Structure 1
Amino acid sequence: MKDMDQRTETEIISCILQGEKSLYEVIVRRFNPCLYKVGRSYNYNHEDTQDLMQDSYLDAFRCLSQFEQRSNFKTWLMRIMLNNCYHKKQKFSYKNELPTDNINENLCPMFNNSNNDTNRQVYSRELRYVIEKSLEKIPDEYRIVFSLREINGLNVAETAEVLEITESNVKVRLNRAKVMLQKELKKIYSETELYEFNLIYCDAMVDRVMKKITEQYI
């Protein structure tokens, strides 16, 4: 298993499809953080997000042989998670919008990787709560783009692929999201600490998904 941690998703998937289904645990551990952030950014609570993650991993496992390696596995998996989020709310409102805004592509990042002691102390439990609540006020289509770009670290092309919108739309929505949040988020935060999915939850999610796979497929 340790050796597998260093391998690409393509290599791991190939082994899984050849019968080594237990290796799917590597996939679950590798993508727990990004799927968790997607679910929380869509305003689902911790429990609902975990349920959506489990469903998404199982959906991906069932369709693993259909994965076209021309695309990025991470964006493919995140699209499954987003689709499940959409279905849960029974709302599909993400339509292309015209880039009528005056887009400032040089707008300062809402988050950076500063790791000094002062920032660590400022970033308290209460502050994380404020950030989450602030993001909840942003309309879904802008909040999701913000999450994918600023929190999950996807580039414009990857975000456009996940959401199936144009790169121009991604820039429009990200710009609007930043403007909406600018007044409330003026301090510098670390994106790696926002919506963290810690190791305790990660292990539990691995257990849940692998148990289901064992029951249904092995």
Structure 2
Amino acid sequence: MKTKETNTDAEIIEKVLNKETAIFELIIRRNNPYLYRIGRMYNFSHEDTQDLMQETYIEAFTHLHQFEGRSSFRTWISKIMLHQCYRKTQKWYSNHMESIENNNPAMENLHNTETSNHVMNRELNSVIEKSLLNIPEDYRTVFTLREVSGLSVQETAEVLEISENNVKVRVNRAKVYLRKEIEKFYVKEDIFEFNLIYCDAMVSRVLSRIDEI
């Protein structure tokens, strides 16, 4: 599309609410890297993360009139993505925990998921990604939002509904866990990267769904 990339989020939102639906593409392209990193942070596969991103964009689109601008749009849509990840995680545990506890075939499905994640890790070629997935979730979440996705301390606090001081403490503790790996391999832009080859496909998926609404 030919719309200038210099449009602010507020301008884009106003146009979308005025029925210029196609410009929602800019929202998708701007936020793909951030949402992708959140999904991968939760250890979802590449494919599952894309599904979660799609649902996040659809929910954001259908509730766009509720965005009041009290925080940045990136903060708002990141919260939606986090909630999508949380719901999917809870649903998975609800559906599989009993089978796992009974050592049923669900364990084979878990193994298949881990194999898929291993393949994805190899594709991403990131030692840090593997290390990050091994640290406690509270620290991993804050570190990814703050240091990888580039949210400010205030934005990270708003997304996670914790204090700014708590954000700083968790980031510092995450760095303690990752210090050796960070010193050797850390390049922020390479962690959980959503390659541009997937961006057009995500735009197409979301806009197709929006057309059906």
Q: TM-score, normalised by structure 2?
A: 0.81
1:21 matched residue in structure 2? 21
User: 1:71 deviation in Å?
Assistant: 1.6
User: 1:19 deviation in Å?
Assistant: 0.8
Q: 1:90 is paired with a residue of what secondary structure?
A: helix
The farther-off stretch of 21-30 and 1-10 is 1-10
Q: 2:29 is paired with a residue of what secondary structure?
A: helix
Q: 1:6 is paired with a residue of what secondary structure?
A: coil
2:184 matched residue in structure 1? 187
**1:62-81 pair list within 5 angstroms:** 62-81=62-81
Point out the structure with the larger helix share: 2
Structure 2 letter corresponding to 1:63: H
Q: Is the 8 A contact 2:9 2:73 kept in 1?
A: yes
> Once superposed, what is the RMSD of the aligned Cα atoms?
1.7
Instruction: Structure 2 unaligned segments of length 5 or more: list them.
Output: 92-121
User: 1:42 deviation in Å?
Assistant: 1.5
CA distance in 1, matches of 2:150, 2:185: 16
CA distance in 1, matches of 2:183, 2:71: 36
User: Is structure 2 residue 153 aligned with structure 1 residue 152?
Assistant: no
Q: TM-score, normalised by structure 1?
A: 0.79
CA distance in 1, matches of 2:75, 2:19: 24
**1:99-138 pair list within 5 angstroms:** 128-138=125-135
2:199 matched residue in structure 1? 202
CA distance in 1, matches of 2:56, 2:124: 30
Identity, in percent, stands at 60
Structure 2 letter corresponding to 1:55: E
Q: 1:12 is paired with a residue of what secondary structure?
A: helix
User: 1:126 deviation in Å?
Assistant: 8.1
Structure 2 letter corresponding to 1:61: F
2:53 matched residue in structure 1? 53
> Residue 170 of structure 1 is aligned with which of 167, 172, 175?
167
